[in-house]
Amino acid sequence: MAKTAFITGVAGQDGGHLAKLLHEKGYVVYGMLRGQLEASHPRYSQLKQEMPYVKIVMADLLDLSALARAMQEIKPDEVYNLAAISHVGYSFRDPVLTADITGKGVLNMLEAIRLAGLEKTTRFYQASTSEMFGGLDYNRPEEGYTEEARFHPRSPYGVAKLYGHWITKNYRESYGMFATSGILFNHEGERRGPEFVTRKISKAVARIKLGKQDVLELGNLDSKRDWGYAGDYVEGMWRMLQQDEPGDFVLATGETHTIREFVELAFKETGIEITWQGKDVDELGIDKATGKTLVKINPEFFRPAEVDILLGDPTKAETVLGWKREVDFPGLVKLMVEYDLGFEAGRG
Ligand code: NAP
Ligand code: GDD
C-alpha cells in the first residue's frame, strides 16, 4: 500500500521539493496551506497547477483543532513539519508571532498527532536549523557544528526554533514517538523566496544583466554561510524518517562562504567582474569593465544581532543515512543565476 505523507508549509521552498520527491516515490501527498477561501488563495491555484497530485488541506499551524482534525481524517504515515515564519530578519520585527508559529506551532502539530491517537504509528520530522548555533563568539565551529554542539540562538527565529527542537526531543523521550529533528544548514535554489539573500542576489544579477535593474542593495557582506541545494536536502529529510530509530541529524556541505563571494560568483556567471571600493556602509561593488556601481550597502538589511559564521559537519548523516549533497557551491550559484536569467528574460 502507498504510504501517506502530510507536509506543512507545502507552498514554501522545501515543501515544493519534498512534495515532488515523495510523489515520485509513490506516496499519497497531502500539503497544508494557511488561508481561508481556497479558490481565491494565490498559492492554492499555483500549487494546483504545478503539483496537481498534492491534496491540499487548508489549516493554520496556530489552530490545534484543525491540525487534530486533519490527523484524524488522514492518519498519515509521515508528517513533515516545514511551516514556519522562516525569515530571520523578519523575526526581529514580529517576534511574538514568530514564537507562536515557529515555536509553539511545533507543539500544536505534535499534540495533534497524539490527540488523533497516532503517536505510536506516525513518524514526525521537525525542520530544525543551524540558526540555533551561535557563531564565533559563542561556539567555535572550526570543524563544523555537529548534532552535539552547544546552542546559542541569536534571533527570535532561532530561539523559537530551539523550542521546536527540544519539544520534538521531549515527545520522543516522553511518549516514544518517532520524532526526528533535522538540523539543516542553509539550502537554496530556484524555489528560494526572493527575501533570502542568495535569491535576492541571483535575481538582481539577472535583472542587472538584462538592463531591468541598476543596483543591488545588501546588508552584511561578511557573514558566512554553509550553503547547499534544497533538492539535495529534502532527500535527507526523507531518509531520516526511514531509519529504525528517531534522532537528530545535521545536513550541511562542510564548506562556508561569505555573501561577498556569492555576489562575485553570481556576477561572474554573467561575465561581469566585481571589484570592491570603500569601507563599511560606504563600500561599493563596481563593474570592473564599465566603472558602474552595481552593489551598495543599505543598513536597513543589517540585523540587531547576527550569526557571523555557519559551518556544518554532516558526518552523521553521511554515515548513518548514506546522504551526500550533490550540488557544490559554484554549481548552486550557477543553477540559480541561470534560472533567473531565463525567468527574467521570459517576463519581457
Ligand atoms: P519557506 O519557504 O519560508 O516556507 C515556509 C512555509 O510555511 C510558507 O509557505 C508559509 O506559508 C508557511 N507558514 C508560515 N506560517 C504558517 C502558519 N501559521 N500555518 C501554516 N503555514 C504557515 O521556508 P523553507 O525555506 O521552505 O524552509 C522550510 C522549513 O525549514 C522552515 O521551517 C524553515 O524555518 C526551516 N529551515 C529552512 C532552512 C533553509 O535554508 N531553507 C534551513 C533550516 C531550517 P505562507 O506562504 O502562507 O507564508
Ligand atoms: N535576507 C537578506 N537580505 N540577508 C542579507 C542581506 C539582504 O539584503 N544582506 C546580507 N545578508 C546576510 C544576512 O545578514 C545573513 O548573514 C546572510 O545574509 C543570510 O541571510 P538569509 O539569506 O536571510 O538567511 P539566514 O541565514 O538568515 O536564514 C536562512 O537559513 C537558516 C539556516 O541557517 C533561513 O532559511 C532560515 O529559515 C534558516 O533556518
Cβ proximity of 68 and 112 under 8 Å = yes
Cβ proximity of 130 and 186 under 8 Å = yes
User: Distance between CA atoms of 298 and 242, rounded to whole angstroms?
Assistant: 45
CB neighbour class for 115 (10 Å; exposed up to 12, middle 13-18, buried from 19): middle
- pLDDT confidence of residue 37: 67
Determine how many CB atoms are found less than 10 A away from the CB of residue 298.
Answer: 12
Secondary structure of residue 217 in the 3-state scheme: strand
> Which of the listed residues 54, 58, 86 should we mutate to test ligand 1's pocket, taking the one with most ligand atoms within 8 A of CB?
86
User: Distance between CA atoms of 38 and 69, rounded to whole angstroms?
Assistant: 18
Per the listing, cell 544581532 goes with 305
User: Distance between CA atoms of 333 and 330, rounded to whole angstroms?
Assistant: 5
> Of the candidates 317, 336, 310, 294, which has an alpha carbon nearest to the alpha carbon of residue 258?
310
How high is the mean pLDDT of the chain?
95
Ligand 1 atom with least separation from CA of 183: 43
Whether the per-residue pLDDT at 74 is higher than 70: the answer is: yes
User: Distance between CA atoms of 17 and 11, rounded to whole angstroms?
Assistant: 10
Q: How far is the CA of 201 from the centre of ligand 2 (A)?
A: 12
Whether the per-residue pLDDT at 38 is higher than 80: the answer is: no
Please write the tens of the pLDDT for every residue from 77-104.
999 999 999 999 999 999 999 999 999 9
User: Distance between CA atoms of 142 and 140, rounded to whole angstroms?
Assistant: 6
Ligand 2 atom with least separation from CA of 130: 33
Going through the chain in order, the beta strands assigned E by DSSP cover 4-8, 28-33, 55-58, 78-81, 123-129, 179-184, 187-188, 216-218, 224-225, 228-229, 248-251, 257-258, 274-277, 284-287, 293-297
Per the listing, cell 571600493 goes with 277
155 lines ligand 1 (CB under 6 A): no
Please write the tens of the pLDDT for every residue from 138-194.
777 678 999 999 999 999 999 999 999 999 999 999 999 999 999 999 999 999 999
Secondary structure of residue 204 in the 3-state scheme: helix
In DSSP terms, which residues pair with 280 in a beta bridge? Answer: none
129 lines ligand 1 (CB under 6 A): yes
> Which of the listed residues 14, 67, 332 should we mutate to test ligand 1's pocket, taking the one with most ligand atoms within 8 A of CB?
14
Ligand 1 atom with least separation from CA of 184: 43
User: Distance between CA atoms of 63 and 112, rounded to whole angstroms?
Assistant: 10
User: Distance between CA atoms of 153 and 291, rounded to whole angstroms?
Assistant: 41
Question: Atom 7 (ligand 1): residue with closest C-alpha?
Answer: 83
187 lines ligand 1 (CB under 6 A): yes
Tell me what percent of the chain is helix, strand and coil, each rounded to the nearest 5. Answer: 45, 20, 40
Ligand 2: which residues within 6 Å by Cβ?
86, 88-89, 129-131, 185-186, 195-197, 200, 218-220, 223, 225, 259, 301, 303, 306, 310
The set of catalytic residues is 129, 131, 157
What band does 348 get if pLDDT is binned at 50, 70 and 90?
low
What band does 336 get if pLDDT is binned at 50, 70 and 90?
very high
- What's the angle, vertex CA 246, arms to CA 179 and CA 140, rounded to 5? 95
Whether the per-residue pLDDT at 210 is higher than 80: the answer is: yes
Looking at the CA of 183, which ligand is closest? 1
